[in-house]
């Protein structure tokens, strides 16, 4: 069976952000350093890295999704950036990830590094996605490539 090889799935900006960006310019949306603040929640793009081995240097595959966390959570950890290069925020996934039907709202840890424009996401909630992240293999990668090759709608904007 022959199909294309992809390196990542790119989930679009969370619908609420898109809606607010296109709405009245006086709305409650604020953009701060690649993060969006909506009311008391902050949104940032993040990467769910899938490694074949725990200590591999480069992920075999990456799922880019949006996560959110409370402004209070972020502000409580921001002081740590003075002494540490990474902070960990309790967050949740804000996208429905293809082939993971229950991914929206999953609890995650978001690792923010001071010099990165996105978060590294570790799935915390028991789910198929957590199992996939914790036990990724070349066989799972092959199955994922097959599944991705079947996508017909928005394929160019979703997978790379």
The model's pLDDT over 53-108, given as tens digits with 9 standing for 90+, comes to 665 678 888 999 999 999 999 889 888 888 888 999 999 999 888 888 899 999 99
In a domain, 22, yes or no: yes
In a domain, 1, yes or no: no
* pTM for this predicted structure: 0.82
Judged against a pLDDT cut of 70, whether residue 20 lies above it is answered with: no
In a domain, 3, yes or no: no
Provide CB contacts within 8 A for 124, sequence distance 6+.
Answer: 106, 107, 108, 109, 130
Cα distance between residue 142 and residue 148, in whole Å: 10
In a domain, 26, yes or no: yes
- Tell me the per-residue pLDDT of 23-58, one tens digit each, with 9 for 90 and over: 656 666 677 767 888 878 889 999 999 887 665 678
pLDDT for the residue 104? 93
Distances (CA, A) of 80 to 30, 46, 77: 23, 20, 6
Q: What's the average model confidence in pLDDT over 123-139?
A: 89
- Which has the closest alpha carbon to 148: 1, 3, 22? 3
Domain count, the chain: 1
In a domain, 134, yes or no: yes
- Mapped onto helix, strand or coil, the DSSP state of residue 96 is coil
Residue whose entry in the numeric block shows the structure tokens 């350093």: 33
φ/ψ of residue 66, rounded to 5? -100, 140
Full residue range of the structural domain in which residue 86 is found? 8-158
């Amino acid at each position: 069976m022959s199909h294309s090889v992809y390196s990542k799935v790119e989930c679009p900006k969370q619908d609420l952000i898109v809606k607010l960006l296109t709405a009245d310019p006086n709305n409650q949306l604020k953009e701060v350093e690649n993060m969006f603040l909506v009311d008391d929640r902050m949104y940032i793009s993040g990467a769910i890295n899938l490694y074949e081995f725990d200590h591999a240097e480069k992920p075999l595959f990456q799922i880019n999704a949006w996560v959110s966390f409370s402004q209070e959570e972020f502000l409580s950890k921001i002081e740590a950036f003075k002494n540490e290069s990474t902070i960990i925020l309790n967050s949740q996934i804000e996208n429905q990830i293809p082939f993971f039907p229950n991914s929206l709202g999953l609890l995650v840890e978001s690792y923010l590094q001071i010099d990165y424009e996105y978060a590294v996401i570790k799935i915390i909630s028991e789910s198929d996605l957590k199992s996939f992240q914790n036990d990724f293999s070349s066989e799972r990668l092959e199955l994922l490539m097959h599944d991705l090759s079947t996508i017909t709608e928005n394929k160019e904007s979703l997978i790379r």
